[in-house]
Amino acid sequence: MSEFQINAATPADVATILHLIRALADYEKMSDQVVATEQGLHEALFGAQPAAECLIAWEGTRPVGFALFFHNFSTFRGQRGIYLEDLFVEPECRGRGYGRALLQRLAQLAEARNCARLEWSVLDWNTPSIGFYKRLGAKQLQEWQIFRLTGDALHAFAADKR
């Protein structure tokens, strides 16, 4: 692997982050679902009330991966945690340590911020990533199912007067 570094994203990186998000969506066969814009990402990541943070892996001047994350909270532990929303490394750069380095940096941030946990979701068909996470020592939580309200269902439920 060539020299690489992992840096916290800055406002100047918004176009790069959007590029990596689109590459992730392409990999997950979800390109049609990306509606994020540079302006929206700038506000979400660097606005008055940032909703998330982002790390970017660089090989020289080339961005090769990213980890986008935010804080969540464990009521049982009474501590916040870090939720990794997306981790992506360009396919031609996989197996070179970028994903591990991004996750390790997140683990270090979790420790420094006194977080109780670092957690994420993975698509059930993504067996290479599942194997990778297990090799790192991550535990797959079989007993939890993810639920989501979005789009029309979210709007209808929010407007329900019952």
DSSP state string for the chain: ---EEEEE--GGGHHHHHHHHHHHHHHTT-GGG----HHHHHHHHHSSS---EEEEEEETTEEEEEEEEEEEEETTTTEEEEEEEEEEE-GGGTTSSHHHHHHHHHHHHHHHTT-S-EEE---TT-HHHHHHHHHTTPPP-TT-------HHHHHHHHH---
* Maximum Cα interatomic distance, the chain, rounded to a whole number of Å: 60
Rounded-to-integer distance, Cα 21 and Cα 55, Å: 13
140-158 pLDDT, tens digit each = 999 998 999 999 999 999 9
At residue 1, the pLDDT reads 46
Considering its fold, how many domains does the chain have in total? 1
Active site residue 98: no
Give the pLDDT confidence of 51-67 residue by residue, as tens digits: 999 999 999 999 999 99
d(CA 91, CA 54): 19
Confidence of residue 2 (pLDDT cuts 50, 70, 90): low
65 within 8 A of 88, measured Cβ to Cβ: yes
Instruction: Specify the pTM.
Output: 0.92
What CATH number corresponds to the domain at position 51?
Answer: 3.40.630.30
Mean pLDDT of the chain: 95
Catalytic pick from 27, 83, 98, 133? Answer: 133
Full domain range(s) for residue 33 = 4-159
Confidence band for 75, pLDDT divided at 50, 70 and 90: very high
